[in-house]
Structure 1
């Protein structure tokens, strides 16, 4: 693993997430594909303005949504502190985000505030609860959308990655399954940054980290998911998550890509196969599928995520980070970078975070 290639992939993951967020700003949350095509044509290929009556009305193509705003806060915190610091990140939310919200969906930076962040506002601002008592049961991907930066920072340190992502996820979401899926995504992203492929072998590599106690998932099977033998002791728990199944999804998606009898054509219809809604269990399979299908084509991966409709912004952020980690920043088309508002600032942030990775 060369330092230059790791930093290129790490920067690509962050910029990929920013690009995915901004590309979906205009056509966000169209559950009618007919309406989506009516407003934006048969194929969305660049940044677009939201329509006046849509979720991000008033913003312009290339700007970030509130998810992108929060991701920016996370990246700045990681860079300034040299790593994950819960107190520093929470201070930034208290000072830079929560005062801009009013607890309603259409408010604050980016024009729309997600369910879990609205609940944080109620508990933190209205009820004056301490951080740590602010998480709700939202089953969405908001935590992934910011903790992917933590995965970048600790791409070579799976134990620290899992611990930091868990801590941060619990600030907004308390469901253990959501937390485990969020940690699993971070672990997948870290291996891509290291240079591993999103293929049928990736989940096996993640399971080896579980067996070594470096990822906090409980597992009783032997290698290749074989049953335990009579007399085998129950292995000690490496951490809090009851099952490692969240780590197995990526390779199943890669297997679907490689199976000639399974075809999703065009690829954007992955949103129909796995579902258009916001829940994490709809979003992750689609993102893994698109990233596995287009490992060296960032543009195709992220545009198919956007053109699938529904909660395409989360799908595009997650896909963009995975795709950017595979192609590296150097493999992302320059027009997609330059089309971002404040592109130079965001690119510098991405490179600064990549430079924080401690590479032997």
Structure 2
């Protein structure tokens, strides 16, 4: 990994990589029959495509975003406007710009499809008039991860604040603690890449050091420092602290598999079959870690293998795109992916602003 890549470039690459991954999977989204996917789009999807009539996101054009991209816009716009994470401002964005376009059904709203957790939040917030903080649901998807990646970028140099903001933002729409732990862990990994750390078998160890030092909110059996340890075998768990650090350990386990010559997934898009094609976090995060780790320095291959794997390839491509874009910086992203993306000029401006905020400028 080149030290010549700046934090700003990594931040810009991460954000644009997420947008690009989302848009690349818009057409071929949710094909669980891979023969059907290849019959429709050919043996290898290499660029933006349009959804087929009657499919998810039908009517949208190549290069446009799903609702995940729309919501990511709202959070990024809030961050760049406020200069920091202002949860009340972001919630107002959802109240005024997203929810008025929804009706509680799946095939409605920006991007042509509304996820389970957003539908549930809409129902509780709009129909039942509940306040924010009481509208989260139990969906086990990466819905929150697809937006909190902006917070991981913004607070890459402030890991404690990164974890706090991501935990709080995730809890707006998802309150399952396993989902929250895995989402925060993904943000911690992404933040480490933005600040210039490698994605390797030591990634989890570096993050665990932050756990032991009390920076990240994961429970660990042992702790470092000179404090006198409490009675018993381990420190007591605090409110808001995840019960185990296992979500942080996933990345390096996956990277060990990706670099082990005796373990090979060929072609690499079949990682979707190994880790699972569905939407749940425990399928999506491992596949993203694998593809970003295997194709380090090659944004195009990492993201296109995520797309060509079928199933919930949109989430897989968003998560992979952010990781890979952070690893290689904005300069690693092919120009055609940037210019072919809807609203790319505004998004590049936001990415630059977010990168400057991340770097403390």
TM-score greater than 0.5 by the shorter chain: yes
Q: Counterparts of 1:44-55 in structure 2 under 5 Å?
A: 44-55=45-56
Farther off after superposition, 327-336 or 349-358: 349-358
Alignment of 1:52-201 (within 5 A): 52-201=53-202
Q: What is the alpha-carbon distance in structure 2 between the residues aligned to residue 73 and residue 359 of structure 1? A: 22
Distance 2:223 2:211 in 1: 11
Aligned-residue RMSD, C-alpha = 1.8
1-structure distance, mates of 2:24, 2:251: 24
What's the counterpart of residue 212 of structure 1?
Answer: 213
Q: CA deviation at 1:358?
A: 4.3
Deviations 1:109-145 (A, max 9, x none): 1000000000011001111110000100000001000
Aligned equivalent of 2:234: 234
What's the CA shift for 1:295?
Answer: 1.0
Question: Following the alignment from structure 1 to structure 2, what is the Cα–Cα distance between the partners of residues 91 and 301?
Answer: 35
CA contact (8 A) 2:149 2:190 kept: yes
CA drift of 1:237 comes to 3.7
How far apart, in 1, do the equivalents of 2:234 and 2:268 lie?
42
Match of 2:308 in 1: 307
Name the structure 1 match of 2:26.
Answer: 25
> Once the 2 structures are TM-superposed, how far is the Cα of residue 222 of structure 1 from its aligned partner?
6.9
Structure 2 vs 1, CA of residues 326 and 74 (structure 1 numbering), >3 Å: closer, same or farther?
same
Contact 1:3–1:359 (CA<8 Å) still a contact in 2? no
Instruction: Kindly state the Cα deviation for residue 221 of structure 1 after the two structures are TM-superposed.
Output: 4.3
Aligned equivalent of 2:13: 12
* CA shift for structure 1 position 314: 0.2
> Could you report, residue by residue, the CA deviation over 1:162-203 in whole angstroms, capped at 9, with x for unpaired residues?
111111101100101111111100000011011111100110
Alpha-carbon contact 2:29-2:312 (below 8 Å) kept: yes
- The equivalent residue for 1:226 is none
Does the 8 Å CA contact 1:216/1:237 hold for their aligned counterparts?
A: no
Q: Secondary structure in 1 aligned to 2:358?
A: coil
Match of 2:353 in 1: 352
| 1:269-324 CA-partner distances (Å, limit 9, x unpaired) | 00000110000000000000001001100000000000000000000000000000
Aligned match of 2:251: 250
Q: How many residues align?
A: 355
Structure 1, residues 140-166: CA drift from partner, whole Å, max 9, x if none?
001000000000000000110111111
Query: CA 1:355/1:156 → structure 2, altered by over 3 Å: closer, same or farther?
Result: same
Partner of 1:35: 36
- TM superposition outliers: structure 1 runs of 4+ over 4 Å: 1-4
C-alpha displacement of 1:3? 10
Contact 2:190 2:323 in 1 (8 A): yes
Bigger CA drift: 343-352 or 35-44?
Answer: 343-352
Q: Return the alpha-carbon distance in structure 2 between the equivalents of residues 109 and 82 of structure 1.
A: 26
Q: Does the 8 Å CA contact 1:305/1:315 hold for their aligned counterparts?
A: yes
Displacement of 1:260 in angstroms is 0.9
| Matches of 1:30 and 1:126, distance apart in 2 | 33
Shift of 1:357: 1.7
Query: Structure 1 residue 236: deviation in Å?
Result: 4.5
- Unaligned 5+ runs, structure 2: none
TM-score, with normalisation over the residues of structure 2?
0.95
Shift of 1:344: 1.0
Deviation at 1:359, TM superposition (A): 3.7
Partner of 2:275: 274
| Distance in 2 separating the partners of 1:12 and 1:6 | 10
Structure 1: unaligned runs, 5 residues or longer: 224-228
Deviation string, structure 1 residues 243-269 (Cα, Å, up to 9, x no partner): 000000010111001111100000000
In 1, Cα distance between the equivalents of 2:234 and 2:207? 20
Conserved 8 A contact 1:150-1:164: yes
